[in-house]
Structure 1
Amino acid sequence: MVKGNDVRDLVISHFESGKKAPEIVKMLAGKVHRATVNRWIQRYKQS
């Protein structure tokens, strides 16, 4: 089973490689809500 931190790390990895939030959501087949992806990216940018 995939843990939440693993999914978050995957989102950040895709973001670092230049993907935008909508692209990442599509890649994850909608398993993670767009608002969650955006929140994770914002927290990453602030850290």
Structure 2
Amino acid sequence: MVALLAIVKKAASFGYKRYGVPGAIATTLIALGGYYYLKKALSGSKTSEN
């Protein structure tokens, strides 16, 4: 969870510096979506074979 907070904070600050408040919101949503997609993709590949 700490890593997610750091990712969101960096994305928001990057977006804010380049595009203002709308950029901060957009980059934060993109970062959250990418994090969720990556986490879901990696957790699906951890199935154990018996």
TM over 0.5: no
Structure 1 or 2, whichever has the larger Rg, is 2
Structure richer in helix, relative to its length: 2
- Structure scoring higher RCO (CA < 8 A, sep ≥ 6) equals 1
In which range does the TM-score fall when normalised by the shorter chain? 0.3 to 0.5
TM-score (norm 1): 0.41
